[in-house]
């Protein structure tokens, strides 16, 4: 019981336009992030596992339409929803993941069900949904996942014959669009919509979880880094728990999260140093943009990103929650933040 519990979450990274972000919009995001990280921290404070804390935090992020996961998921170019998620237990290095599920209310819970109730690590599509129905997970009709903002974003992407790396708002819809507070204004080509959580519990165990709705106007069947261990999600008690958000293909090609853990294990680098090397030096070699959140076995938290901002929050036992969007003095390492 010597560990000091801590948790960190993210809701996506990218070029988040200060000029378009109103005080009301910023407050909504910060309030949501603080509320969700506090809920996860409470699980830890009561002696709950890191696995339970990240499961709850990501489920709450999926339930919030501000973020591109679960209810807030973006549309494929066929007008469907296809969601991916993964979860990993740092103590046992067991993991579960789902890809291309369309009706599961909380994909992170689906990933955990795969981990705990199947002999597999990754399941996809209809086969995964049938398995999840047999285990009683909540399902929703397509209307549950529909939001006007996401639909408008799809129409704009279709007009431009492009694939957008997540939601934006009035700036995406054009100058004549009505003001909206849902979601916050973002550069449409530089916003990466994924959510995730990492945690260290009082028993000294680590866990990580990541979930996403993918990219607006993506081809049906496209799967990014989120459900791929070592790319979008990774946890090992010997090194760190990590969750990524960004250019999925770059995280996949570089195995970015496993690279961080390998540097820690084989080179003896700190989490801060390894994460900085990967996010700031290596990802750009793959034209990769985005960020990661990580926590090591000592409770050091890092949240580096190579974009203008990243929706993020963190909390340690005995302290209040902190949330941020833009770069700050503590954007790389939070191990000494009070």
Task: Give the domains, in start order, of the chain with CATH numbers.
Answer: 6-326 (3.60.20.30)
What number is the average pLDDT over the span 276-304? 96
Predicted confidence band at 337 (pLDDT cuts at 50, 70, 90)?
A: very low
> Which H/E stretch holds residue 6?
strand 6-16
Largest CA distance in the chain: 57
- Is residue 127 a known part of a binding site? no
Per-residue pLDDT of 34-45, as tens digits, reads 999 999 999 999
246 in a labelled binding site = yes
Sign of CA dihedral 121, 203, 233, 270: negative
Look at residue 20 and tell me whether its pLDDT is greater than 90.
no
- pLDDT at position 176: 30
To the question of whether residue 279 is assigned a binding role by annotation, the answer is no
Q: Take residue 166 and report the two structure tokens written for it.
A: 């997540």
Query: Known catalytic residue: 194?
Result: yes
Alpha carbons 291 and 244: distance in angstroms, whole number: 6
Over the chain, what is the mean pLDDT? 87
Residue 104 annotated as binding?
no
253 is in an annotated binding site: no
Q: Which of 36, 33, 67 is nearest to 212 (CA)?
A: 67
Confidence band (pLDDT; 50, 70, 90) for 162?
A: low
245 assigned ligand-binding residue: yes
Q: Is the pLDDT of residue 178 over 50?
A: no
**Residue of 74, 76, 68, 70 whose CA lies nearest to 218:** 76
Tokens of 236: 């090992």
| 223 known ligand binder | yes
Question: Could you tell me which residues come within 8 angstroms of residue 316 by beta carbon, excluding any fewer than 6 positions away?
Answer: 4, 5, 6, 41, 299, 301
Q: What is the pLDDT of residues 63-115, one digit of tens each?
A: 999 999 999 999 888 888 999 999 999 999 999 999 999 999 999 999 999 99
Give 158's pLDDT tier (boundaries 50, 70, 90). confident
**Confidence bin at 259 (pLDDT 50/70/90):** very high
201 closest CA partner among 33, 57, 30: 57
Question: Is 11 annotated as a binding-site member?
Answer: no
CA nearest 13: which of 218, 276, 243, 258? 243
* Dihedral (CA of 234, 239, 241, 243) sign: negative
Q: How confident is the model at residue 15 (pLDDT cuts 50, 70, 90)?
A: low
Residue 260 DSSP label? H
| Catalytic residue of the set 194, 210, 212, 226 | 194
Q: How confident is the model at residue 165 (pLDDT cuts 50, 70, 90)?
A: low
The token duo for 20 is 């378009």
Indicate whether 149 pLDDT > 50: yes
């Amino acid at each position: 019981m010597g560990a000091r519990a801590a948790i960190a979450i993210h809701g996506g990274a990218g070029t988040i336009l200060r000029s378009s972000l109103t005080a009301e919009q910023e407050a909504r995001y910060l309030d949501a992030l603080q509320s969700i990280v506090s809920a996860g921290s409470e699980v830890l404070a009561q002696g709950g596992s890191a696995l339970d804390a990240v499961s709850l935090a990501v489920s709450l992020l999926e339930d919030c339409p501000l973020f591109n996961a679960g209810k807030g998921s973006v549309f494929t170019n066929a007008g469907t929803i296809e969601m991916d998620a993964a979860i990993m237990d740092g103590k046992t290095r067991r993991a579960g993941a789902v890809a291309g599920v369309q009706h599961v209310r909380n994909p992170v819970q689906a990933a955990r069900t795969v981990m705990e109730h199947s002999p597999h690590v990754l399941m996809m599509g209809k086969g995964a949904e049938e398995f999840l129905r047999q285990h009683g997970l909540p399902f929703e009709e397509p209307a549950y996942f529909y939001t006007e903002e996401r639909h408008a974003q799809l129409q704009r992407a279709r007009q431009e014959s492009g694939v957008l790396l997540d939601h934006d708002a009035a700036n995406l819809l054009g100058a004549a669009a009505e003001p909206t507070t849902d979601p916050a204004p973002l550069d449409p080509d530089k916003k990466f919509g994924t959510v995730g959580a990492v945690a260290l519990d009082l028993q000294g165990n680590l866990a990580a979880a990541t979930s996403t709705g993918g990219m607006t106007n993506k081809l049906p069947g496209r799967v990014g880094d989120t459900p791929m261990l070592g790319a979008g999600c990774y946890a090992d008690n010997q090194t760190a728990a990590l969750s990524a958000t960004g250019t999925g293909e770059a995280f996949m090609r570089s195995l970015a999260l496993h690279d961080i853990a390998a540097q820690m294990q084989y080179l003896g680098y700190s989490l801060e140093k390894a994460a900085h090397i990967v996010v700031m030096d290596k990802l750009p070699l793959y034209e990769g943009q985005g960020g990661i959140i990580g926590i090591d076995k000592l409770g050091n938290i890092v949240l580096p990103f190579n974009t203008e901002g990243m929706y993020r929050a963190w909390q340690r036992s005995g302290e209040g929650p902190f949330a941020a969007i833009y770069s700050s003095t503590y954007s790389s390492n939070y191990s000494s933040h009070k």
